[in-house]
Amino acid sequence: MQYKLTTPVAKEDLAPLRAGDTVLLSGTVYTARDAAHKRMMELLDAGEALPFPVEGSAVYYVGPTPERPGQIIGSAGPTTSGRMDAYSPRLDLGQAIMIGKGARNQAVKEAVVRSGAVYLAALGGAGALMAASVEELEVICWEDLGCEAVRRLTVRDLPLTVILDAHGGDLYESGPAAYLSSL
């Protein structure tokens, strides 16, 4: 199935999604990679607020390349999500959507189910396709991190695939199993 979602999202918006479904995501998406996640955890550990509203948010693991003249953003392909696994179980704060590529560890899978969240995959190697969905961009903090600074993107119909759903579905497990059973 294909769904259209607009951020911020509620658990009820994500409940129908199943691993393997496609999503066209619109609204606000925040970017954060390894260095930004480390700083976010330091803020949380110090009892401070994060630099963006977390409830119902979508975070894209991307470090876009510099934009060319006339562009909003450069290539915006996903980074490997496993590098954020140590930070992701803090989904209990209200984050609803993680976007990246690659498999996630068991602690992240459990946090997704516990939080009613989802993990969506962006097509790796298609940074120009992903960038085409970005309508606005603003660096909101940690500009010193360069491509890893936290950005607020406004996106329209960002094409994504559900990898982990809120019910425990995992496309990296069910996809190969479905293929093997069809042989």
Q: Across-strand partners of 136? A: 154
Query: Cα dist. 98→44, 67, 101, 180, 183 in Å?
Result: 18, 24, 10, 28, 33
Q: Please list the alpha-helical segments (H only) found in 15-150.
A: 34-45, 106-115, 127-131
Please say whether the beta carbons of 110 and 129 come within 8 A: no
- What does the alpha-carbon distance between residue 176 and residue 7 come to, in Å, rounded to a whole number? 31
* 133 in Cβ contact with 83 (< 8 Å): no
- The catalytic residue among 37, 39, 101, 109 is 37
Which residues, including other chains, have CB under 8 Å from residue 169's CB and lie 6 or more apart? 18, 19, 20, 162
The continuous run of DSSP H or E covering 173 comes out as helix 171-181
37 is catalytic: yes
Residues in CB range of 16: below 8 A, 6 or more apart? 1, 3
- Active site positions, annotated: 37
